[in-house]
Amino acid sequence: MGTILGFPRMGQRRELKRMLESYWKNEIDAQSLMQESSALRQKHVSLLIDSGLSEIPVNDFSLYDHVLDSIVGFGAIPPRYKPLQDDFIRLYFAMARGERGANHNTKAMEMSKWFDTNYHYIIPEFTRDTLFDPTLMIQKLRHSIEEAAQIIKEKGATTKIRPVLLGPISFLLLGKSSDGSKVLDLLPRLLEAYCSIAEFCTEKGIATVQFDEPYLVYTLSKELQEAYKTAYKTVKDAYKGIEIFLASYFDDLAINADLVTELAVDIIHIDLQRSSFETAEYIAKRCKAISLGVIDGRNIWKAHISSLLSTLNAFLSEHSLQRCYIGSSCSLLHCPFDVRGETELDAEIAEWLSFSLQKVEEIQLLTSALSKGAESVATSIAQYDEAMQRRERSTQVHRAEVKKRVSEIDEAMMKRKSPYSERKETQKQRLQLPLFPTTTIGSYPQTAEIRKIRAAFKKQSISYQEYQDSMREEIRKVVDFQEEVGLDVLVHGEPERNDMVEYFGERFDGFVSTSNGWVQSYGSRCVKPPIIYGDLQRKTSITKEWISFAQSLTKKPMKGMLTGPVTILQWSFVRNDIPRSETAFQIALLVRDEIEDLEKEGIGIIQVDEPALREGLPLQSEKHSEYLDWAVKSFRVASSGVEDTTQIHTHMCYSEFNEIMRTIIDLDADVISIEASRSDMELLEAFKEHSYPNEIGPGIYDIHSPRIPSTEEMIELLQLARKYINDEQLWVNPDCGLKTRQWEEVSLALRNMVSAAHFLRTRK
């Protein structure tokens, strides 16, 4: 049986993004948003039915985030949003994005990264008094089930529907308690809500329900193991006659293989991109039905169909399972939609790629070969094999000179000339910054006009001179604005950059960019990860022209802006034929070259962003040290070749820092800026606990929300920050880049931010 765990939501042309942003701009109303999003959801269901999959997921579609859907669907709404409960859509987006108006200014809920992906989820907030009500979840299920059932009926198909729910234990563990209570104490109450859905599913003739429990790949305490047993016994008792499909992913399930086979579930899903077939063998001997996630749901390379068939045939011959699903390793949420739209890609590279619709085709090819015999699809299998062979032989992939340069990296390349305690004095003398220096993270609003100019240049409808003149004018506007507002360290605003990773990828040999390879990051925010297909080289300096021009416009320090090696790696689709660490060091050398160019131009502050450093941390603790070792070394290779007088910054966002504080210290960046506003500076506790020695800029302006924090609110956040770090360490900045915001919001917020810094200076 062929299946997937979930499907991309945005649409082939980012239709959902456009709907959402039209709604937020009041160009369409809530009713139109719901109608248009329903049509998109039905289109996706229709595609999956036509693909021939035996069973398809429903209820995996979301207007913003599936965790937020669980929060609202089960009624776990924080008290501050209760006044909005009569208007569901307004409530939903106020929780996600915050809300500002003439008489109110509602903060958004906190966000964090979805395990080790670049997808952001809304963090549930619990107290010991939290109550759960499944009414809205049942409504959402009703819409998705009835829509899919109607399409199946119209097509005369036999496709089964499998509703998807975030599992109760993972739902609780993804959240946080705001009153010190234990989130697991809420499990009995939450289970009542989950069990209330069973009657509805029975009424709708649902045969199987999928419960996603990604926490099952972590090392679990005895308490959590017992909680899982209790939870799924309770669920199974309630869902009489309905099969429980338990899905876990993103790491090796071997760590809890004994536990999952003891749970009262019917089908166990294994992510076979992260688990081994040995784990699958072990579990298959102890369960009735299994789901084998053999198709990579997080990368874009074609599957090696012949190799998989050989393995699957051997596996199935050894086990007398009642049922075996062949599917994706995880939801296809993390993959682009359809590679057939990439008509501008190099034809040789394009044939190596598989996006979401192609992955569905791969699943169907495997299930056909397994059920009807490989000879029935021999031509298709041969085409896959030939593409794999051409990739292995390609001269575009391997460059001896790149491998040689990586082999020559030594310890000396990973160390600054002097320790931070000495560097900071030379940097103070050079930069002459005030106490509580103000800056921004890098990007400024990307207006429609900027995007229009970039697109025209890409289409070659304007000359390079016209493009350069336009970009320089945008840089001049940003510099003038920062001077007028009174910021202390300026940036050039990045008008020439489409994305902090894709921009560099387009300029490195060994990368390729797509036209429509969009993946959801959060809400309506989509990214288009470049693809690393071969060894990496840099033809010429990428940022020097723009940043040196910006520095010529001001006497204040101009910060050079670069993306770090781990983030470029993590936010790209990476090669699967060499270790990730090798690619990280290739990128590090190119970033090092870029830093050297900027330093020669007299740029005294250079920021090497690493927001994905924590994101790349393996979920299982025994794998941490290996990853952190090469991640830190790659950053230091990139950033350590400068003089003591050059101040190296880095930036991280939406991360839990406790696990990696030693690593952050080991990076040896002079200044780190972090996201902190939504958590009211709670993240700084880790920096205090570990006596972080260098300088820190905790964000005091949430750039993922349209609301504008007042000067007083920012002062309050800075006062909280001062409880954790010394004044001499404290920088003042937003949470992240300002690219997605409007100029009106940015202007007001940054003026308030500068006023907050001035207030603190006058009170010293």
Nearest to 316 by CA among 723, 670, 1, 656: 1
Residues shown for the chain: 764
Separation CA 754–CA 751 (nearest Å): 5
Nearest to 660 by CA among 639, 687, 698: 687
Please, what sign has the CA dihedral across residues 68, 72, 77, 80? positive
Neighbouring C-beta atoms of residue 495, cutoff 10 Å: 25
Secondary structure (DSSP) of 685-696: HHHHHTT--SEE
Separation CA 103–CA 423 (nearest Å): 48
Contacts of 760 (CB under 8 A, 6+ apart): 435, 436, 715, 718, 727
Secondary structure (DSSP) of 451-487: HHHHHHHHTTSS-HHHHHHHHHHHHHHHHHHHHHHT-
Residue with tokens 């809300």: 99
Task: Check if the beta carbon of residue 187 is closer than 8 Å to that of residue 169.
Answer: yes
Using CA atoms, how far residue 401 sits from 340, 391, 393, 584, 591, in Å, is 34, 20, 17, 16, 17
The answer to whether residue 334 is catalytic is: no
What is the 3-state secondary structure of 143-207?
A: HHHHHHHHHHHHHCCCCEEEEEEECHHHHHHCCEECCCCCHHHHHHHHHHHHHHHHHHHHHCCCC
Selecting among 44, 66, 120, 704, the annotated active-site residue is 704
Separation CA 696–CA 652 (nearest Å): 11
Separation CA 371–CA 312 (nearest Å): 11
Separation CA 634–CA 16 (nearest Å): 37
Q: Which two tokens stand for residue 732?
A: 């003042």
What is the 3-state secondary structure of 562-577?
A: EECHHHHHHCCECCCC
Q: Active-site residues: which are they? A: 704
